[in-house]
Amino acid sequence: MNQILGHNYIGGARSAAGQTRLQSVDASSGEALPHDFIQATAEEVDAAAKAAAAAYPAYRSLSAVRRAEFLEAIADELDALGDEFVAVVCRETALPAARIQGERGRTSGQMRLFAKVLRRGDFYGARIDRALPERTPLPRPDLRQYRIGLGPVAVFGASNFPLAFSTAGGDTASALAAGCPVVFKAHSGHMATAEHVADAIIRAAEKTAMPAGVFNMIYGGGVGEWLVKHPAIQAVGFTGSLKGGRALCDMAAARAQPIPVFAEMSSINPVIVLPQALETRAENIARDLTASVVQGCGQFCTNPGLVIGIRSPQFTAFTQQVAALIGDQAPQTMLNAGTLQSYGKGLQKLLAHPGIEHLAGREQQGNQAQPQLFKADASLLINGDEALQEEVFGPTTVFVEVADQAQLSAALNGLHGQLTATMIGEPADFERFSELTPLLEQKVGRILLNGYPTGVEVCDSMVHGGPYPATSDARGTSVGTLAIDRFLRPVCFQNYPDSLLPEPLKNANPLGIQRLVDGVPGREAL
């Protein structure tokens, strides 16, 4: 494994023109790690964006197979990062080795999944409407459409997934798959991890003869604004706080050429516990729900931050069961001091609210997060009180008891957009509460039955997105193969001779891909 240099990655070379030195820290002890990282200057950010722009024409013109080989090479390099690398990630994040090993596999796996998308060819979205010269009153020209990469993409790493939502994470993978060079802004919480992964990407780029500048990485606080405002950048991928994501959206919208920002931001992921389920298996639900709340110290964007049930003796007993379980949970170390501080502030807002009652959890103090349970009046949710709409990032959840089925729908209507919603129930519950699914479809990106949202499968069908403020654009996802759509745009060719058409649109269909021809899907040559 390469030694940490701490320099920015620009156009296939390393650069350290700045004077500001940054340090990563041990998440458990707060001790500074023995590496300096040089914050990028405005000139270096400019150079990184220009390097990506210079790489774009050559990179996007490569065949999908060549890009797939690049992604597969990245996956191989990631898999080759061994125990020493895992130890670095654990030290920077306080996450356990088993979690990091699993996340490394997920990260390489999604690279290989996007390679399959490229080899499949459906991402082109090829459509052909052949000329109808005899049509009256007007003939139809020959029209053919496919999709190309937007151009250079700025990607911001997440704090809570140092691999899967970071340097080589889903945003980077889908942008590279789309034919878009990347400028990655490393997260300050795990810069050493980012450097080792960036080295792996560069090794893969060199082995597969990718153009210099296909991947660039910069360090530093405040450099993101320069990046988002740079005219070469054509889209932004972000995972983080609502405040940070909204700031990037506003910057991008204020540019002379506004660009899309695909930001995954804030979600409280309601869990609705229905009556029959409580009558049959309340104890198991209480145990599994508690485990989901505290898993990974609650540092998941799909952490269940709100639990809703209908008033009954069973729901009262269930609340007491969860309170006892939460009270028995041990404190955990969070990703970094900033995350712990934010968690403490979020708890203070809940504790100070007159309509919210603290049910369980030790007083928050020291350098670890204490799991907590609260109960809020249903009127707060129905009336859109901000205290119940804001994500508290950590091992805490809020119970809400509604009076009846009608008030349950009213409470759900009061919710802002979410990544997920979960219904825990029996078949009779789902029949009785059939109105909930169409209601939740308008509120969330993924609806679960009898499961828990802290787990996001990387596959073709997954949606990890949702209406604002869960994301800035509810039409996409940051997990799964549909994520590539965010970084593609359609181009139409009218009356082009076959010799000048791109391969996906040629009559012979040399790529053998699925195409829509005169409204009929098929792979046949024309």
Alpha carbon distance 245, 251 (integer Å): 10
| 264 tagged catalytic | yes
Q: Does 270-449 match 35-265+476-485 at the fold level?
A: no
Residue 149 reports pLDDT greater than 90: yes
pLDDT digits (tens, 9 = 90+) for 271-286: 999 999 999 999 999 9
Alpha carbon distance 48, 53 (integer Å): 9
Q: Please provide the CATH number assigned to the domain covering 35-265+476-485.
A: 3.40.605.10
Retrieve residue 256's tokens. Answer: 């002379």
| 435 tagged catalytic | no
Alpha carbon distance 211, 54 (integer Å): 9
Provide CB contacts within 8 A for 345, sequence distance 6+. Answer: none
Catalytic residue among 180, 301, 391, 401: 301
The confidence band for 83, taking pLDDT boundaries of 50, 70 and 90, is very high
Q: What is the mean pLDDT of residues 374-378?
A: 97
Report how far Cα 506 is from the mean position of its chain's Cα atoms: 36
Q: Is the pTM of this model over 0.85?
A: yes
Alpha carbon distance 68, 278 (integer Å): 48
Residue 43 reports pLDDT greater than 90: yes
Are 123 and 177 spatial neighbours (Cβ–Cβ below 8 Å)? yes
DSSP state of 168: T
Predicted local confidence at residue 518, as pLDDT: 98
Alpha carbon distance 251, 388 (integer Å): 28
- Residue 354's H or E segment, with its range, is none
Retrieve residue 285's tokens. Answer: 């639900």
The confidence band for 474, taking pLDDT boundaries of 50, 70 and 90, is very high
The confidence band for 493, taking pLDDT boundaries of 50, 70 and 90, is very high
Alpha carbon distance 66, 211 (integer Å): 12
Report how far Cα 486 is from the mean position of its chain's Cα atoms: 12
Retrieve residue 90's tokens. Answer: 């654990």
Catalytic residue among 195, 264, 391, 401: 264
pLDDT digits (tens, 9 = 90+) for 171-184: 999 999 999 999 99
Homologous superfamily in CATH for domain 270-449:
Aldehyde Dehydrogenase; Chain A, domain 2 (3.40.309.10)
**How do the domains of the chain map onto residue ranges?**
35-265+476-485, 270-449
In this structure, the dihedral spanned by the alpha carbons of residues 39, 43, 48 and 54, taken in order and rounded to 10 degrees, is -170
What is the Cα gyration radius of the chain? 25
Q: Mapping DSSP to helix (H, G, I), strand (E, B) and coil, where does residue 126 land?
A: coil
Residue 378 reports pLDDT greater than 90: yes
Q: What is the mean pLDDT of residues 69-75?
A: 98
The confidence band for 355, taking pLDDT boundaries of 50, 70 and 90, is very high
Q: Where are the alpha helices (DSSP H) in 307-454?
A: 313-327, 337-352, 378-382, 405-413, 427-432, 436-441
